[in-house]
């Protein structure tokens, strides 16, 4: 090689092998993230052959965390965040407390110090942002009530960890470790121990509050202004660059100036951008990098893992894993149920939090650096992380199995709980009514009684116009939608709905495709639409299928799978323009672009 290029080598080896093993995993019907982790183990220092730069891989993974949280922020408003605080704050705190106690108990059994137990327990108590968000995204849960609780919960955990990271160095002396006087690796995060515990807590909280205030007061004005200014230059490239620069800049600034985590900074940047519809869409477009970087997160975790530690540390690893997967989930489950939420919500929150990741590694490193945590502790945390990440998709499968059984039990032992309506933020006392919904969040959606009806999928820019016309013509129809806000609007309009992802077999079946006359696909994703078309054809060969597409290739794809009519959006736009210019309808129905 002409010169040394560790960054390029790390990206190429990481992404290349992740692709190969991800594809292999997929072939064997294992979640691809297992493949990414294996790729990481292979390029890591614990296996022979090429060794990628772990430090670089880690930083690249951090970019993935920033972009993921930025993307989540784009789907959140301040109101959404506040609407889940009544469950997320106590939930996360109680769960952290419980997991920390379990971790400390295991540490005690292993003969470690109290300080070691505290660090170990805390490390087991926080979930990984990347694992959680990807799990929610894959299942299209982010914009549901349950998804919002999970994200709110994650943010509280994130804040708690920021607190732990600043407090540990200050407390190290008291806890039996080595007191640290200089700032540790994460820069300005740590504060001198001389401030005392309460001083450190106070300063940290003040910094977080200052960051939030700066974002809400200054960021809210400056960011939209910059975006509008750039939009007027007419350069798409500059616009995307502005979005990316703001996301990364705010995250980095938040971490360096205010001691807030990168993830939290990025989340706020996204939340502020989401307030304007224009920047929202543009920002979404500029996120394709997100997936690539979040894959590198799994590779970097794999790199840290030493497969041989599994042999030398047998039962402590199993105990660690049990705390993460069973202990934490049970705690979350009990809390969510105690707050009056439906079973499905409790199960989903438990499953999504039953893993650990990046924060745990940072805590473990810090603990070892402060001489609080023995090296064995770090090994256990790493093994626990990798195993819990691998098991996480199985947790989601497990809740699907357990749901019917638990529901049957609940029905036997308690009177049926009335489903609660979806609603915006309410008073703190009224937690239970915030997120529980009457439209299928607590079990498979109920089957419609409609027959000879039309099934309309998606109620966005396209579907809502179609729906309005169907309603006016008094044709029987129902809508399948997965966005909570849209569902609430549908309900207000008195339109029958099935809530959930239409590509999901259970959800689709609830719309009675066998008895339906027509299927109208008003969703933008042609792959999802294709899947639904196939399912509809299988259920009802005679159903009339009308689909939406945005390119000729999509038209072909959907027709090939059995759609009767496919309307290409861009063609219709051209038709409208021609009509406006020439004052007449274009003569043929065939493509005006041909
Ligand atoms: P638009 O592109 O504005 O017409 O919006 C599309 C609408 O379809 C949005 O409201 C989405 O929430 C909804 N949507 C997209 N994909 C699905 C899906 N697989 N299942 C149910 N609803 C969907």
- Can you give the pLDDT at residue 437? 38
Judgement on whether residues 354 and 492 belong to the same structural domain of the protein:
no
Task: Report the percent of the chain where pLDDT is more than 70.
Answer: 87
Q: Is the pLDDT of residue 184 over 60?
A: no
What's the whole-model pTM score?
A: 0.70
- Can you give the pLDDT at residue 75? 76
b/e 518-533 (16+ beta carbons within 10 angstroms → b): bbbbbbbebebbbbbb
Average pLDDT in the chain: 83
- Name the residue with tokens 């990798």: 386
Q: Is the pLDDT of residue 189 over 70?
A: no
Judgement on whether residues 468 and 551 belong to the same structural domain of the protein:
yes
Q: What are phi and psi of 519, to 5 degrees?
A: -125, 125
CA of 480 to the centre of ligand 1 (A): 9
- Can you give the pLDDT at residue 286? 61
Judgement on whether residues 158 and 260 belong to the same structural domain of the protein:
yes
- Can you give the pLDDT at residue 278? 61
Q: Is the pLDDT of residue 574 over 90?
A: yes
Q: Which of 523, 527, 534, 573 to mutate to test the pocket of ligand 1 (most atoms within 8 A of CB)?
A: 523
CATH at 81: 1.20.1530.20
Closest ligand 1 atom to residue 502 Cα is 20
Q: Is the pLDDT of residue 464 over 80?
A: yes
Confidence of residue 427 (pLDDT cuts 50, 70, 90): very low
Q: Is the model more confident about 345 or about 283?
A: 345
- Can you give the pLDDT at residue 193? 56
- Indicate whether residue 502 lines ligand 1 (CB < 6 A): yes
Q: Is the pLDDT of residue 253 over 90?
A: yes
Closest ligand 1 atom to residue 464 Cα is 4
Q: How far is CA 42 from CA 46, 49, 198, 298, 304, in A?
A: 8, 8, 45, 12, 10
CA of 524 to the centre of ligand 1 (A): 7
**What is the extent of the structural domain holding 585?**
454-593
Q: Does the residue 435 lie in any domain? A: no
CA of 490 to the centre of ligand 1 (A): 13
- Can you give the pLDDT at residue 82? 87
Q: Is the pLDDT of residue 348 over 80?
A: yes
Confidence of residue 417 (pLDDT cuts 50, 70, 90): very low
| Listed residues 393, 409, 425: the one ending a domain | 409
Q: How far apart are CA 224 and CA 415, in angstroms?
A: 51
CATH at 580: 3.40.50.720
CA of 525 to the centre of ligand 1 (A): 8
Residues 77-98, mean pLDDT to the nearest whole number: 90
Q: Is the model more confident about 173 or about 233?
A: 233
Closest ligand 1 atom to residue 458 Cα is 8
Q: How many residues in total does the chain contain?
A: 594
Q: How far apart are CA 324 and CA 305, in angstroms?
A: 17
* Long-range contacts formed by 504-510: CB under 8 A, 24+ apart: 505/535, 506/444, 506/445, 507/440, 507/445, 507/480, 508/480, 508/532, 508/535, 508/536, 509/447, 509/539, 510/440, 510/444, 510/445, 510/446, 510/447, 510/448
Confidence of residue 39 (pLDDT cuts 50, 70, 90): very high
Confidence of residue 186 (pLDDT cuts 50, 70, 90): very low
Write the DSSP symbol of residue 417. P
Confidence of residue 185 (pLDDT cuts 50, 70, 90): very low
Q: Is the pLDDT of residue 404 over 60?
A: yes
Q: Is the pLDDT of residue 422 over 80?
A: no
- Can you give the pLDDT at residue 24? 94
Of the candidate ranges 44-53, 124-133, 313-322, 562-571, the one whose mean pLDDT is the lowest? 44-53
Q: How far apart are CA 506 and CA 226, in angstroms?
A: 45
CA nearest to 524, candidates 470, 471, 577, 483: 483
In sequence order, what DSSP letters do the residues of 347-401 get, joined into one string? HHHHHHHS---HHHHHHHHHHHHTT-S-HHHHHHHHHHHHHHHHHHHHHHHHHHH
Q: Does the residue 430 lie in any domain? A: no
Residues 361-370, mean pLDDT to the nearest whole number: 86
Residue ID of nearest Cα to ligand 1 atom 12: 483
Q: Taking a C-beta distance cutoff of 8 angstroms, is the pair 162, 264 a contact? A: yes
Confidence of residue 440 (pLDDT cuts 50, 70, 90): very low
Q: Does the residue 542 lie in any domain? A: yes
Judgement on whether residues 383 and 482 belong to the same structural domain of the protein:
no
Q: Which of 480, 482, 495, 570 to mutate to test the pocket of ligand 1 (most atoms within 8 A of CB)?
A: 482
Q: How far apart are CA 149 and CA 305, in angstroms?
A: 31
Q: Does the residue 461 lie in any domain? A: yes
- Can you give the pLDDT at residue 592? 43
Q: Does the residue 420 lie in any domain? A: no
- Cα within 13 Å of Cα(518), Cβ side: 16
Judgement on whether residues 109 and 217 belong to the same structural domain of the protein:
yes
- Indicate whether residue 431 lines ligand 1 (CB < 6 A): no
- Indicate whether residue 503 lines ligand 1 (CB < 6 A): yes
- Name the residue with tokens 């505290």: 118
Q: Is the pLDDT of residue 231 over 80?
A: no
- Indicate whether residue 480 lines ligand 1 (CB < 6 A): yes
Q: Does the residue 191 lie in any domain? A: yes
Q: Is the pLDDT of residue 465 over 90?
A: yes
- Beta-carbon contacts of 321 under 8 Å, excluding residues fewer than 6 positions away, are 383, 384, 387, 388, 391
- Indicate whether residue 463 lines ligand 1 (CB < 6 A): yes
Task: Report the percent of the chain where pLDDT is more than 90.
Answer: 38
Domain count, the chain: 2
Of the candidate ranges 37-41, 47-51, 312-316, the one whose mean pLDDT is the lowest? 47-51
């Amino acid at each position: 090689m002409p010169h040394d290029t560790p960054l390029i080598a790390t990206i190429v080896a990481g992404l290349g092998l992740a692709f190969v093993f991800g594809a292999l995993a997929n072939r064997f019907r294992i979640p691809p993230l297992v493949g990414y982790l294996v790729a990481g183990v292979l390029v890591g220092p614990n296996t022979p052959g090429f060794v990628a730069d772990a430090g670089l891989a880690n930083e690249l993974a951090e970019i993935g965390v920033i972009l993921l949280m930025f993307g989540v922020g784009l789907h959140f408003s301040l109101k959404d965040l506040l609407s889940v605080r009544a469950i997320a704050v106590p939930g996360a705190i109680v769960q952290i407390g419980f997991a920390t106690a379990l971790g400390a108990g295991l540490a005690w059994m292993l003969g470690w110090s109290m300080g070691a137990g505290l660090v170990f327990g805390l490390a087991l108590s926080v979930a990984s942002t990347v694992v959680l968000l990807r799990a929610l995204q894959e299942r299209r849960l982010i914009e549901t009530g349950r998804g919002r609780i999970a994200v709110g919960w994650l943010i509280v955990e994130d804040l708690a960890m920021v607190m732990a990271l600043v407090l540990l160095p200050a407390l190290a002396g008291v806890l039996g470790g080595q007191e640290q006087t200089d700032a540790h690796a994460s820069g300005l995060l740590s504060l001198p121990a001389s401030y005392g515990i309460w001083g450190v807590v106070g300063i940290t909280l003040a910094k977080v509050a200052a960051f939030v205030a700066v974002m809400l007061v200054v960021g809210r004005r400056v960011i939209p202004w910059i975006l509008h200014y750039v939009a007027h230059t007419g350069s798409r490239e500059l616009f995307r660059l502005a979005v990316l620069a703001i996301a990364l800049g705010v995250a980095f600034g938040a971490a360096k100036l205010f001691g807030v985590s990168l993830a939290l900074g990025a989340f706020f940047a996204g939340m502020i951008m989401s307030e304007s519809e224009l920047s929202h869409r543009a920002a979404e477009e500029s996120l394709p990098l997100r997936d690539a970087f979040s894959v590198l997160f799994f590779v970097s975790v794999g790199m840290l893992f030493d497969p041989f530690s599994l042999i030398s540390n047998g039962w402590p690893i199993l105990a660690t894993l049990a705390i993460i997967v069973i202990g934490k989930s049970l705690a979350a489950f009990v809390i969510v149920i105690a707050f009056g939420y439906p079973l499905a919500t409790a199960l989903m929150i438990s499953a999504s939090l039953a893993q650990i990741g990046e924060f745990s590694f940072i805590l473990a490193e810090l603990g070892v650096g402060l001489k609080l945590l023995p090296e064995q502790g770090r090994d256990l945390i790493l093994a626990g992380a990798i195993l819990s990440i691998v098991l996480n998709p199985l947790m989601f499968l497990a809740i699907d199995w357990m749901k019917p059984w638990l529901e049957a039990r609940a029905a036997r032992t308690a009177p049926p709980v009335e489903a609660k309506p979806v609603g915006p933020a309410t008073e703190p006392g009224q937690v239970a009514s915030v997120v529980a919904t009457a439209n299928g969040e607590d079990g498979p959606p109920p089957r419609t009684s409609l027959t000879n009806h039309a099934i309309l999928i998606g109620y966005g820019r396209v579907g809502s116009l179609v729906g309005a016309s169907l309603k006016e013509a008094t044709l029987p129809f129902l809508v399948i939608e997965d966005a909570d806000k849209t569902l609430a609007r549908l309900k207000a309009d008195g339109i029958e709905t099935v809530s959930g992802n239409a590509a999901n077999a259970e959800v689709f079946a609830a719309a009675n495709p066998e008895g339906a006359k027509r299927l109208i696909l008003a969703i933008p994703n042609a792959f999802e639409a294709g899947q639904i078309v196939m399912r509809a054809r299988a259920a009802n060969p005679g159903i009339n299928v009308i689909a939406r597409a945005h390119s000729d290739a999509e038209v072909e794809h959907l027709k090939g799978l059995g759609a009767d009519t496919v309307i290409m959006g861009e063609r219709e736009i051209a038709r409208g323009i021609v009509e406006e210019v020439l004052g007449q309808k274009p003569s043929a129905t065939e493509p005006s672009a041909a």
